């Protein structure tokens, strides 16, 4: 009797392991194991719009008030079963309890604790829904920081240090950027010399390399341009191309064959016109690979108070994020899946 119980328990354990293998435990049971070739991974980086400005305490109309449960009301808390996100930082303050480097269902925020929905949400959903019948899983990795110039994503450590230590008055950058440096660095990142081997670009690459053990990097999306397009620290287009080429080189990808999509800033304010005109120049020598996603017709955020009115020219409304993300996704589908 004891022997039968032992073998029955062993069989149950084996069945349990078989069910659990092949997908992240957090995403629940899957009908079958997804092959490495069918796990398509996308990298996303940028500033506040990629961070996700509309948090769960802001209503669908962009105002704080009674209409604050937009995540659940709109079904954003139930992403497609084949859409997942790799946590780019430990989100200990969230009920999800996400840990850096692990895959989870793509419930916003996809960036970090306390952030909101962003174009990567709708980008991933658009692709995942379109390829669900092909047994393809879609994963995203998002590394983004509010308000930062393109230099924040410098491929080299010295470039990152030079940038962050120059931002003495931008405390939020040093606070949010802290999520992507070593835990031993004092909080927030100091404005003097500091010792770290981790920084946003390296975090993105390290996570991407881990993801490549399970899947294939298919493309890169960026939303950055509201800040620093003409900041005098170096031509914007050179920084953008350097980041793209470095990502391809560090991840063993062939530059020129990995789609690179960037979204335009909000068009509702003339202050963004220079950025909208400058961004395409960043892709002049990456033909047939880099594409600008238009923000034409997309609405800006409607602030809840007069003091926040300036955000209208920087951040999209919920409807704006949704449409922009869909445009990213539709372009990637056009390039890779049709």
Q: Tens of pLDDT along 23-75? A: 444 444 444 588 999 999 999 999 989 998 765 555 444 444 433 344 555 66
pLDDT at 283: 65
Residues 6+ apart with CB under 8 A from 196: 157, 161, 181, 182, 184, 185
CA–CA distance, 271 with 121 (Å, rounded to integer): 27
**β-strands 83-86, 103-105 pairing:** antiparallel
Residues 6+ apart with CB under 8 A from 158: none
Q: Domain 33-336, what architecture?
A: 3-Layer(aba) Sandwich (3.40)
**β-strands 260-263, 290-293 pairing:** parallel
Helix axes 236-250, 200-211, angle to 10 degrees: 30
Predicted model pTM: 0.84
pLDDT at 16: 35
pLDDT at 8: 35
Mean residue pLDDT of the chain comes to 80
For residue range 299-336, what is the model confidence (pLDDT) as tens digits?
A: 877 655 444 555 556 788 888 899 999 999 999 999 99
For residue range 111-155, what is the model confidence (pLDDT) as tens digits?
A: 887 788 899 999 999 999 999 999 999 999 999 998 898 999 999
Where are the chain's structural domains? 33-336
For residue range 190-226, what is the model confidence (pLDDT) as tens digits?
A: 999 899 999 999 999 999 999 999 999 999 999 987 7
Q: pLDDT class for 243, splitting at 50, 70, 90? A: very high
Q: pLDDT class for 275, splitting at 50, 70, 90? A: low
Measured over the CA atoms of residue 240, residue 121, residue 126 and residue 80, the dihedral's sign is positive
Residues 6+ apart with CB under 8 A from 136: 34, 38, 39, 40, 82, 128
């Amino acid at each position: 009797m004891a022997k039968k119980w032992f073998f029955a328990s062993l069989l149950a354990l084996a069945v349990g392991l078989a069910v659990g293998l092949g997908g992240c435990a957090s995403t629940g049971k899957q009908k079958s194991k997804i092959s490495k070739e069918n796990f398509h991974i996308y990298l996303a980086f940028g500033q506040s719009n990629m961070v996700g400005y509309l948090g769960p305490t802001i209503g669908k109309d962009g105002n704080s008030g009674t209409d604050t449960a937009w995540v659940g009301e709109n079904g954003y808390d139930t992403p497609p079963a084949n859409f997942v996100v790799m946590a780019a930082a430990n989100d200990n303050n969230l009920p999800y309890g996400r840990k850096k480097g692990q895959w989870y269902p793509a419930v916003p925020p996809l960036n970090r604790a306390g952030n909101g929905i962003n174009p990567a949400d709708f980008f991933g959903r658009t692709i995942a829904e379109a390829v669900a019948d092909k047994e393809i899983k879609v994963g995203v990795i998002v590394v983004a920081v509010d308000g930062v110039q393109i230099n924040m994503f410098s491929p080299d450590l010295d470039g990152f240090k030079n940038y962050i230590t120059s931002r003495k008055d931008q405390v939020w950058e040093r606070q949010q950027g802290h999520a992507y440096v070593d835990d031993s660095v004092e909080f927030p990142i100091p404005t003097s010399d500091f010792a770290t081997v981790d920084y946003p670009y390296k975090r993105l690459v390290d996570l991407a390399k881990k993801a490549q053990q399970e899947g294939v990097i298919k493309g890169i999306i960026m939303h950055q341009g509201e800040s620093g397009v003409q900041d005098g620290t170096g031509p914007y287009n050179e920084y953008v191309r350097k980041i793209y080429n470095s990502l391809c080189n560090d991840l063993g990808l062939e530059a020129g064959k990995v789609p690179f999509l960037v979204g335009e800033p909000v068009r509702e304010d003339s202050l963004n016109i220079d950025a909208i005109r400058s961004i395409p120049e960043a892709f002049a020598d990456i033909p047939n690979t880099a594409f600008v996603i238009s923000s034409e017709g997309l609405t800006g955020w409607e602030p809840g108070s007069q003091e926040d009115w300036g955000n209208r020219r920087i951040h999209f409304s919920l409807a704006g994020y949704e449409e922009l993300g869909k445009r990213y996704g539709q372009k990637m589908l056009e390039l890779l899946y049709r």
